[in-house]
């Protein structure tokens, strides 16, 4: 089955620091890849996506590149803000017939002023 290995948290950074959250996956076929973000007490929001190898997804200053050769989809942001404090989930979507979104365990990010 599919699986996701996501960087363990919590991660604490100072404002304007560089962020990397690592994600590697195993999945059936050629999955689409997603990063979701969950702010405290809220549901998940789609942050960015990539649907094929070498695609780069980007949104709100965050980026992730679909690396088929390393089965990775690392999340990066050049300068984090306090408002980026949240839990981030990496999730490949794949399947044969019945597609499943497989979530990583989540990485909690805290950004301090």
Partner 1 sequence: DAMVIQNPRYQVTQFGKPVTLSCSQTLNHNVMYWYQQKSSQAPKLLFHYYDKDFNNEADTPDNFQSRRPNTSFCFLDIRSPGLGDAAMYLCATSRGSSYEQYFGPGTRLTVT
Q: What is the binding site for partner 1 (CB under 8 A)? A: 32, 34, 36, 41-46, 49, 89, 93, 95, 98-101, 103-106
The helix or strand, by DSSP H or E, that contains position 36, with its residue range, turns out to be strand 32-38
Rounded distance, CA 105 to CA 59, Å?
Answer: 22
Cβ pair 104, 5 in contact under 8 A: yes
State which H helix or E strand residue 88 sits in: strand 86-94
Q: Which is nearer to partner 1, 17 or 44 (CB)?
A: 44
Q: How far is the CB of 48 from partner 1 (least distance, A)?
A: 10
* 17 vs 22, beta carbon nearer partner 1: 22
Kindly state the smallest distance separating residue 78's Cβ from partner 1, in Å.
25
- Closest distance of CB 97 from partner 1, Å: 9
> What is the token pair recorded at 10?
């919590």
């Amino acid at each position: 089955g599919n699986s996701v290995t996501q960087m363990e948290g919590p991660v604490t950074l100072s404002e304007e620091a560089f962020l990397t959250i690592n994600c590697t996956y195993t999945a059936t076929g050629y999955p689409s890849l997603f990063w979701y973000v969950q702010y405290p007490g809220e549901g998940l929001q789609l942050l960015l996506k990539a649907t094929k190898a070498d695609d780069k997804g980007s949104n709100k200053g965050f980026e992730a590149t679909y690396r088929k050769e390393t089965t990775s989809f690392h999340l990066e942001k050049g300068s984090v803000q306090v408002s980026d404090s949240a839990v981030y989930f990496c999730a490949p979507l794949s399947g044969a017939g019945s597609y499943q979104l497989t979530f990583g365990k989540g990485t909690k990010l805290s950004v301090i002023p």
